Amino acid sequence: GLSTDTVRTYWQRIRQKVGAGTRGEIIATISDKNTAAALKTVETEKDALLQEMLRRKSVENALRASEKQWHQLADAMPQMVFVSNSKAKPVYFNARFLEYTGLSQEEALKGAWKRTIHFEDIRRVSRELKRFASGDVPAELEVRIRRFDGEYRWHMNRAASIRNEHGRITQWYGTSTDIHESKLLRDRLLDSTTFLSQAQRIARLGSYEYDVKRNLGRWSENLFEIFGIESQDGWFDSDEFMTRIHPQDVPHVGQAIRETIDRGAAFNELYRYIRPDGQVIRVHSVANPVSENGKVVRLIGTVQDITEQSETEQRLRDSERLLEEAEEVAGIGSYYWDLSEDRSHWSKSMYRIFERKPEKGVMNADEFYEILHPDDHERYTDSIRKTIETGQPLDTHYRLVFGNRLKHIQARGSTTFENGKVVRLVGTCQDVTKQRIS
């Protein structure tokens, strides 16, 4: 074949000799065979180039038509759509984005879109853009985007990369979906759940659900903590739980569960539970049955760790018992009188001293004066009046009449003030009959 330089030389000669005409006419005027061959080669290449140009033009037209259709589709979407280049720089925003933000395409592409992102979210967005540029696939991102009227609404941003045949990212396609209402609802639910969890933790309370048919349980995080068991997600076998109930409490707990399942009775039980670390705790569990077609299918309830409360109550009972024993030995009874509510409380020894049955309750004033020695009425009344009016401690002696018997009582008491007035009187009454007689 002819070299490129040869073809170029012959072509220059042809241009000098020929001004116009068809290819056949031009070739007919050329006597030099080499020049004619060169012309044929050039014409062949020109035809091939023309065909390539036509093919590329057709492809470009098809691409433009496809791009137009894609833009029409993007503009019809309810979500905001954006396209970025390989460096994460936006090159397109759909009509929904422009309508929502009030920006023009030109303004948005020049960077004004950044001003629509809430200032508390812009750093997170910037970090994600860097991930775009580095080729990492970004996670879903929740951001607040400002509407044209100034209101910020929560949106879920998602993006996917487009890669060429060499695996290199050429573009990013993304969407922003309005999730404002669901986001606020989810946050309120989360706040409520967090509040409930914290309140339960403070109260040492946990919640549970029990599926009767499958014998599976589902516990709150706090309940795992109370029972000292590692947290588990979802449903789990409840048999292990039953094996850790204190052996002495298994019969009545099992019976209560059967009654709840068989008869739909509410579950309300106190029992001891042995934690994996060996600690025995006391719990109070209540549950309501849920029925379907007349059968109990699950229980929903709570468990409260009352160990500390039980121990405190036991210490209080022990203390009260010791106080009662001490009062009985010393012949002393204690009392509490709330003047603001006219409410009184007596210890058990007070009832013994006044020879009154506890089920009758504290004596009222009329009942007291019936057994008070008549000669002591005025002195006792003056003592009480003076204590209430001045707040001075009560310290008085009086006699009680029981048939033909007399009891000598030494009464003492201290006062409590509120807003300058005596509101409470707390004290003791001691039977000093033996001392007086002797």
How far apart are alpha carbons 361 and 216 in whole angstroms? 50
Clarify whether residues 255 and 332 are in a common domain.
no
Clarify whether residues 174 and 192 are in a common domain.
no
The dihedrals phi and psi of 211, each to the nearest 5 degrees, come to -90, 110
| pLDDT on residue 52 | 61
Clarify whether residues 275 and 348 are in a common domain.
no
Clarify whether residues 301 and 350 are in a common domain.
no
Clarify whether residues 196 and 172 are in a common domain.
no
Clarify whether residues 334 and 433 are in a common domain.
yes
CATH (domain of 82): 3.30.450.20
- Boundary-marking domain end, from 178, 202, 232: 178
- Whether 315 is in a domain gets the answer no
- Whether 318 is in a domain gets the answer no
In sequence order, the 6+-apart residues with CB closer than 8 A to the CB of 252 are: 269, 271
Q: Cβ(296)–Cβ(290) under 8 Å?
A: yes
């405190």: which residue's tokens? 312
- Whether 310 is in a domain gets the answer no
- Boundary-marking domain end, from 156, 178, 200: 178
Domain count, the chain: 4
Give the dihedral sign, CA 123/125/126/130: positive
Give the dihedral sign, CA 120/184/82/136: positive
For residue 69 the two structure tokens come to 């259709």
Tally of CB atoms within 10 A around 331: 18
How far apart are alpha carbons 219 and 172 in whole angstroms? 44
How far apart are alpha carbons 385 and 365 in whole angstroms? 14
Quick one: residue 285, left, alpha or beta (phi over 0 = left, psi -120 to 50 = alpha)? beta
| pLDDT on residue 22 | 47
Structural domain harbouring 332: 323-437
- Boundary-marking domain end, from 67, 99, 116: 67
In sequence order, the 6+-apart residues with CB closer than 8 A to the CB of 341 are: none
For residue 129 the two structure tokens come to 């853009």
How far apart are alpha carbons 121 and 45 in whole angstroms? 59
- Whether 388 is in a domain gets the answer yes
Clarify whether residues 198 and 273 are in a common domain.
yes
Clarify whether residues 330 and 269 are in a common domain.
no
How far apart are alpha carbons 64 and 401 in whole angstroms? 117
Q: Cβ(154)–Cβ(143) under 8 Å?
A: yes
How far apart are alpha carbons 296 and 88 in whole angstroms? 58
How far apart are alpha carbons 173 and 166 in whole angstroms? 19
Clarify whether residues 293 and 243 are in a common domain.
yes
Per-residue pLDDT of the chain (438 residues; tens, 9 = 90+): 545 555 556 555 555 554 544 455 555 554 555 555 655 665 666 566 666 666 666 656 555 665 666 666 767 777 899 988 888 889 999 989 999 999 999 999 999 999 999 999 999 888 887 776 676 665 678 999 999 999 999 999 988 888 888 888 888 888 899 999 988 888 887 777 666 667 667 768 888 999 998 888 888 888 888 888 888 777 777 777 888 999 999 999 999 999 999 999 999 999 999 999 999 999 999 999 999 988 999 999 999 998 888 777 777 777 777 777 776 766 788 899 999 888 899 988 899 999 999 999 999 999 999 999 999 999 999 999 999 999 999 999 999 999 999 999 999 999 999 888 999 999 999 999 988 876
Give the dihedral sign, CA 77/79/84/89: positive
| pLDDT on residue 47 | 61
Task: Give the CA angle between residues 380, 382, 385 to the nearest 5°.
Answer: 110
- Whether 313 is in a domain gets the answer no
Clarify whether residues 193 and 152 are in a common domain.
no
Clarify whether residues 272 and 330 are in a common domain.
no
Clarify whether residues 81 and 57 are in a common domain.
no
Q: One-letter amino acid identity for 265? A: A
- Whether 241 is in a domain gets the answer yes
- Whether 407 is in a domain gets the answer yes
How far apart are alpha carbons 346 and 15 in whole angstroms? 133
- Whether 33 is in a domain gets the answer yes
Give residue-wise pLDDT tens across range 191-235: 776 666 676 677 688 889 999 988 888 888 888 888 888 887 777
């395409």: which residue's tokens? 105
